[in-house]
Amino acid sequence: MPLNIPESSDPRIVIVGAGFAGFCLAKKLSGKGFQIVLLDRNNYHQFQPLYYQVAMSGLEPSSICFPLRRSFQNEKDFFVRVAEVSRIIPEQKQIESSMGVIRYDILVLAMGAKTNYYDNKNFERNTIPLKSVAESLFLRNCILRDLETAVMSSAGTDISPLLDIVIVGGGPTGVELAGALAEMKLHILPKDYPDLDSSQMNIHLVSSPDRLLANMSAPSSEKAKQYLIHLGVHLHLSQRVQKIDDGLVYLQNGEILKANKVIWAAGVVAATIPGIPSESITIGGRIEVNQFCQVIGDTNIYAIGDIACMKTDTYPDGHPQVAPGALQQATWLAAHLKSKGTKTIGFKYFDKGNMATVGRHKAVVDFKKYHFSGFVAWIVWLFVHIYYLIGVKNKLIVMLNWVWGYLFYDQALRLLITPKKETHDLD
């Protein structure tokens, strides 16, 4: 009995990945005449847009994570398994995982995306990614540990490598992280480390495009740039990182930045699995699907979320890799599967816009032809993120933390906690 899953008279749907797409699909299909098997390398769902707040000590991991078994504990014929899929065997309708082999009638791939290092091992070895809660905690510890070292350094010692931070990538993650770091420098460090000259801390943001937030409108991009400059962030636009070596970041224009912590937020690539037909793999490693989210070349395998690429006239390179798109695909596919495949109208993406926050009262929002920024945009950003969080308790905790931070300019979670023994990384 592979993975200790009993056979059932109902069709077995195996969902790989418990991100936005996989989790939403599982919720909508549970109790609807299917045997559902949800596979993920973790036993919890992670709210990716707020990773940076965990890294900045603004939120605890439990605030943006939700246990999978708790979500489905009352569902019949529903199984959660913590495993990593290694290969798909389409001709046998089986997948191989770290915990054994499992059969499927319908397979849904929703593994999302992973950090894209562009096949550069130098970048991979010398930078800190931000694509999981575990990586967020690691970054938090790195920042706090270097601050503690800096404050104990003797006079005349060059502490700039301990304080300075380089962020590579001018997308939403890089911009939001830079803004949070800048506000920490301005409002937190003077209180927590009064004997440390926080003005020595430099935050560098390197972006290969000539503007920030390249996927957003020009007005929003320019506004985000102004916000970051006002906060004291050093911007290096139209620049690429050539090499990172021994705490030194070499830029394309010959400039050298000195920093122990280099955060990599320069893009993602689809997390594909061996066994997918090669003709289905397209731009960025994404899996090409038809209008019904079926993988090209196999009608029993579906792909949704960041891993899927549905090419249309409006989106010739596939839909944007954002949470609303993943949720829309999951909702549509659930209805399609419940109808036993009788739906004749394929999936259509509705663009709900883009947003990013740079700091207190500083955010930008794009919605169709409308662009706005400032306090109103910041409020919209707050409520949208609270809305999409899973669990009433998590919503309340996050809201309370944000209200407290707003009133007192303080995040009370700056705890340097590391495992006593080395453990296996489940992420």
* pLDDT (mean) for 192-203: 90
Q: 44-64, pLDDT tens digit by residue?
A: 999 999 999 999 988 889 999
pLDDT for the residue 411: 63
Q: 344-395, pLDDT tens digit by residue?
A: 789 999 998 999 999 989 999 998 888 999 999 999 999 999 999 988 989 9
The Cβ of residue 72 has, within 10 Å, a number of other Cβ atoms equal to 19
Q: Where does residue 134 fall: left (phi above 0), alpha (psi -120 to 50 degrees), or beta otherwise?
A: alpha
283 vs 270: CA distance, rounded Å: 9
- Between 410 and 107, where is the model more confident? 107
Q: 301-348, pLDDT tens digit by residue?
A: 999 999 999 999 999 999 999 999 999 999 999 999 999 877 778 999
Residue 145: pLDDT over 50: yes
pLDDT for the residue 426: 47
Residue 277: pLDDT over 90: no
Q: Set out the domains of the chain in order of their start, with CATH numbers.
A: 9-115+269-338 (3.50.50.60), 121-266 (3.50.50.100)
| pTM confidence score | 0.92
103 vs 106: CA distance, rounded Å: 9
Q: Strands 256-258 and 100-103, how do they pair?
A: unpaired
